[in-house]
């Protein structure tokens, strides 16, 4: 289940260029000060540095994205990092479906960073370009496999109606075991939290990269 190499491949570039804080909704550049100026490793104090070193081993965005605000609260940041690590590389949910669940949350929140980071990972894991494209357009993808349709319906139902119907749960039981159902629920909830952290901090995509969602789009 380990796919850390996907992140490490672009680590040096991300760490070198850093991430600039800007509006999550891709508003025009202004002179507004970033809410959380981008930290670098040499700026970290003794409480932050051990976490920073762990992040740099696996993150394609260096200390950017959610890590930039998280590391300001290093004890919480460490707990969240451990959770992220499990939900990305040790979860019982197959990678293709796990990344799909993350994209569903990213689309709901129009999270520039989540989509930018995870759409390539979902594609690499085997999620089709058509499914990714239709989801980005805000549609229920029309060409999903059975397990993908279950993930879409399960996550969407849970996050929009605040419950999972008996019918949807019965479908889930045919596809997943108990651990996988719990892990799927956890990854969805975790990336809602990540989207909230990114929105609060006004983190956006790396400098020079196009934001996935344009201003004014639904």
Residues 75, 102, single domain; the answer is no
pLDDT band at 215, cuts 50/70/90? confident
pTM: 0.84
Range(s) of the domain holding residue 40: 4-15+34-90
CB burial of 109-133 (b: ≥16 within 10 Å; e: otherwise) equals bbbbbbbbbbbebbbebebbeebbe
Residues 79, 99, single domain; the answer is no
47 part of a folded domain: yes
pLDDT tens sequence across 76-98: 999 999 999 999 999 999 999 99
Average of per-residue pLDDT across 133-162: 98
Percent of the chain whose pLDDT exceeds 70: 84
Residues 100, 139, single domain; the answer is yes
Residues 84, 122, single domain; the answer is no
205 part of a folded domain: no
**Left (φ > 0), alpha (ψ -120 to 50) or beta: where does 125 sit?**
alpha
**Left (φ > 0), alpha (ψ -120 to 50) or beta: where does 11 sit?**
alpha
CA gyration radius for the chain? Answer: 17
> Residue 176 sits in a domain of what CATH number?
1.20.1290.10
Token pair 């929105």 is at which residue?
Answer: 199
Beta bridge partners of 21: 203
Of 90, 107, 124, which residue is a domain's last?
90
Residues 100, 193, single domain; the answer is yes
Count of structural domains, the chain: 2
124 part of a folded domain: yes
Of 10-14, 26-30, 50-54, give the lowest mean pLDDT range: 10-14
Kindly tell me if the per-residue pLDDT of 108 is higher than 70: yes
Average of per-residue pLDDT across 5-12: 38
Alpha helices in the chain (DSSP H): 4-8, 11-17, 49-58, 67-70, 74-85, 95-109, 112-124, 129-136, 146-161, 166-175, 178-201
185 part of a folded domain: yes
How far is CA 32 from each of CA 21, 26, 27, rounded to the nearest angstrom? 10, 13, 11
Residue 21, SS3 per DSSP: strand
């Amino acid at each position: 289940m380990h796919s850390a190499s996907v992140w490490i491949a672009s680590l040096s570039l991300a760490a070198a260029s850093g991430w600039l804080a800007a509006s999550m909704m891709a508003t025009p550049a202004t002179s507004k000060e970033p809410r959380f100026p981008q930290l670098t490793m040499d700026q970290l104090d003794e409480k932050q540095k051990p976490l920073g070193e762990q992040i740099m081993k696996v993150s394609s965005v260096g200390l950017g994205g959610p890590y930039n605000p998280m590391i300001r609260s290093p004890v919480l940041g460490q707990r969240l990092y451990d959770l992220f690590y499990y939900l990305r590389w040790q979860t019982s949910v197959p990678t293709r479906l796990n990344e799909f669940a993350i994209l569903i949350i990213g689309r709901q929140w129009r999270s520039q960073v989540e989509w930018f980071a995870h759409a390539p990972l979902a594609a690499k894991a085997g999620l089709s370009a058509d499914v990714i494209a239709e989801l980005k357009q805000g549609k229920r993808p029309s060409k999903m496999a059975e397990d993908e349709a279950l993930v879409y319906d399960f996550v969407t139902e849970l996050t929009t109606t605040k419950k999972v119907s008996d019918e949807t749960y019965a479908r889930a039981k045919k596809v997943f075991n108990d651990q996988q159902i719990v892990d799927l629920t956890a990854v969805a909830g975790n990336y809602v939290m990540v989207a909230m952290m990114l929105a609060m901090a006004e983190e956006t995509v790396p400098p020079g990269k196009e934001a996935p969602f344009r201003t004014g789009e639904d």
